[in-house]
Amino acid sequence: MTGYTGKGLRVDLSTGKTYIIVTPVSLCADFIGGRGFGVKMISDRITLSYDDADMPLIFATGPLVGTAAPTSGRMSVISRSPLTDTVFDCSVGGRFGTELKRAGYDFIEITGKSSQWVSMIIKDSNVSLVGSDNLKGFTTSETSASFGNMSCAAIGPAGENLVRYASIVFDKHYCAGRGGLGAVMGSKKLKAVAVKGSSAISVMDTAALDAARKEIMRLLRASQAVFGEFGLSEFGTAALVDLIHSRRMEPTQNFRKTIFDNASEYSGYRMKERYKTRKEGCSGCPVLCKKISSNGEVMPEFETVSHFGALNNCSDLEAIVKSNTICNEMGIDSITAASTIACYSEIEGISVTAEQMHDLLRRISIRSCKLADALAEGSYRYAESKGAPEMSMSVKKLELPAYDPRGAYGMALAYATSNRGGCHLRAYPVSHEILRRPVATDRFSFEGKARIIRISEDLNAVVDSLTACKFVFFGASLEEFAKAFNSVTGSDHNSQSLLKAGERIWNLERRLNEMNGFTKSDDDLPARFFIEDGSSSEMIKISAINREDFLNARNNYYRIRGW
């Protein structure tokens, strides 16, 4: 089948041996690629601990990777999360996926544990493991630089020290950030994977792919959310700061409030004005949502800027940018890091200054003291150790992102039902509730949300498996991407048959979590959202969510899922 290389790379770090394996046709047919590949491949070992030698860490490309399809440079990283204990995947950009596919591999499956620090180097069919004790303690950018012009996936000190929310950083600033997959890599003593490929990627019908690409691009250019004056291409994801502020649903001071008066100080507009940013993006991406300052500094994404901002009561843009840089360099997830420190601040009844924040982030990354060691476990385990687990603003131990659920009830239900934990990337009802696309819905009602979320969860499972970028779907739809998929692979799919594959992936993830003891009691929100009002105004009332309405919506969701 075109669109796939037909082979994968299996690596056993315990023995130092590498094997070429055939990509099963059934895997392509039923699970598409990327996230779907990884979830299926890990399913027979999901009950193992994240640091078990037999627990795989999987890097998987999709059928569109390396083709002319828009946003075709993404890939997925899959394992069991050290933070949440759920099956976990991260969609990541940069050029690693493209290079891996050009090297001739659909995926890498890594098992075992090395006795010393090693790095994997892939140059087409040439695969080697090299000793990397000399890289121990290096930051992610220092590690990446040591491999020259190869695309590099690296962990920093946080991954080495098994911080439960350590990230894997690709090409210096594209992060497989959430869930702690960097700690999985660290447990195997794998410091980096560097890849360079030179092969062409086969496509079944180049003319049909070009037509599908043009159709997707036409719809994308018409999207104000993507290419509009105040859209993602112009200001990056931080374009959302002002919008979420105006809706009074920005998480503030560990979600005690829902409005932060000084949010405009770190908006996307303010970052562009102050840092003279330029556009950068993943391989094959026309949107270029990544923003880089004139001196090469990476600007924080919306979740990061909001959580180091409002969530920690900070309006100092320079300090927020520095916090983001430290997270990238040390290799820790900025959302969980900021959330954990906000949780610590509330429990201790203190306010963390910018200087203290930066010091804490560095200390957490190397577990350098008793406090840092406790915070390196994430907000839930830290709060539980203090006898106050309700202070952790998380679902399934994954800290919530920058949309307060009291301001968008669909988001509340999406957080709760997510297989990954508290996440905005499994479903994104904010698109309906705040961005008003594709159909506007009442953000203070659960009416119709269960069905919207079910469709969105299945859709995003497909998107992460193709692999493409979710931002494209602010303009284009699965109809257009089905055409691209068919033109690449020679398949005969439509949007409904692809959604069936998405449902298959979603239900498998749910089953794997059940095997690890998760039940519907885990599909819930922190009590705060049901008993404390948000920050209302004369025009907008942000009330606590009615518990009975939430439970009814959750039951509707289960019914629609057929569970």
Q: Which residues of 311-337 are buried (b: 16+ CB within 10 A; e: fewer)?
A: bbbbebbebbbbbbbbbbbbbbbbbbb
pLDDT, tens digit, 9 for 90 and up, residues 388-414: 999 999 999 999 999 999 999 999 999
Give the mean model confidence (pLDDT) for residues 307-336: 98
Place of tokens 């934990």: 421
User: Which has the higher per-residue pLDDT, 270 or 225?
Assistant: 270
User: 42 pLDDT exceeds 80?
Assistant: yes
pLDDT, tens digit, 9 for 90 and up, residues 515-526: 999 999 999 999
Q: Look at residue 119 and give its three-state secondary structure.
A: strand
- The CA distances from residue 188 to 60, 288, 318, 553, in Å, are 18, 34, 36, 42
Structure tokens at 349: 């009844």
In sign, the C-alpha dihedral spanning 456, 42, 421, 402 is: negative
What band does 436 get if pLDDT is binned at 50, 70 and 90? Answer: confident
Place of tokens 């990337």: 425
Distance from the Cα of residue 97 to its chain's centroid: 15
pLDDT, tens digit, 9 for 90 and up, residues 109-161: 999 999 999 999 999 999 999 999 999 999 999 999 999 999 999 999 999 99
Give the mean model confidence (pLDDT) for residues 36-44: 98
- The CA distances from residue 342 to 50, 349, 477, in Å, are 26, 10, 37
Structure tokens at 155: 């962990």
**CA–CA dist 492, 500 (Å, integer):** 14
Q: Which residues of 474-509 are buried (b: 16+ CB within 10 A; e: fewer)?
A: bbbebebbbbbbbbbbebebebeebbebbbbbbbbb
Give the mean model confidence (pLDDT) for residues 172-178: 94
- The CA distances from residue 298 to 127, 301, 383, 476, in Å, are 31, 9, 31, 28
32 beta partners: none
User: Which has the higher per-residue pLDDT, 283 or 121?
Assistant: 121
pLDDT at 229: 85
Residues 6 or more apart whose CB falls under 8 angstroms from that of 378 comprise 83, 164, 165, 336, 340, 392, 394, 397, 399
User: 32 pLDDT exceeds 80?
Assistant: yes
17-22/118-123 β-pairing = unpaired
Place of tokens 């491949």: 41
Distance from the Cα of residue 440 to its chain's centroid: 25
User: 366 pLDDT exceeds 90?
Assistant: yes
**CA–CA dist 350, 99 (Å, integer):** 47
Radius of gyration of the chain from its Cα atoms, rounded to whole angstroms? 22
Q: Look at residue 203 and give its three-state secondary structure.
A: coil
pLDDT, tens digit, 9 for 90 and up, residues 194-253: 999 999 999 999 999 999 999 999 999 999 889 988 889 999 999 999 999 999 999 999
Report the candidate in 403, 399, 428, 469 with the shortest Cα–Cα distance to residue 243.
403
Return the axis-axis angle of helices 495-515 and 478-489, rounded to nearest 10°: 90
Structure tokens at 477: 């739809």
**CA–CA dist 158, 139 (Å, integer):** 9
Give the mean model confidence (pLDDT) for residues 304-321: 98
pLDDT at 554: 98
For the chain, list the domains and their CATH numbers: 7-196 (3.60.9.10)
What band does 435 get if pLDDT is binned at 50, 70 and 90? Answer: confident
What band does 284 get if pLDDT is binned at 50, 70 and 90? Answer: confident
- The CA distances from residue 120 to 12, 20, 35, 73, 132, in Å, are 11, 15, 22, 21, 10
What band does 283 get if pLDDT is binned at 50, 70 and 90? Answer: confident
What band does 437 get if pLDDT is binned at 50, 70 and 90? Answer: confident
Length in residues, the chain: 563
Report the candidate in 543, 251, 544 with the shortest Cα–Cα distance to residue 400.
251
pLDDT at 439: 84
**Taking all residues of the chain, what is their mean pLDDT, rounded to a whole number?**
96
Structure tokens at 148: 């020259």
Residues 6 or more apart whose CB falls under 8 angstroms from that of 431 comprise 437, 438, 456, 474
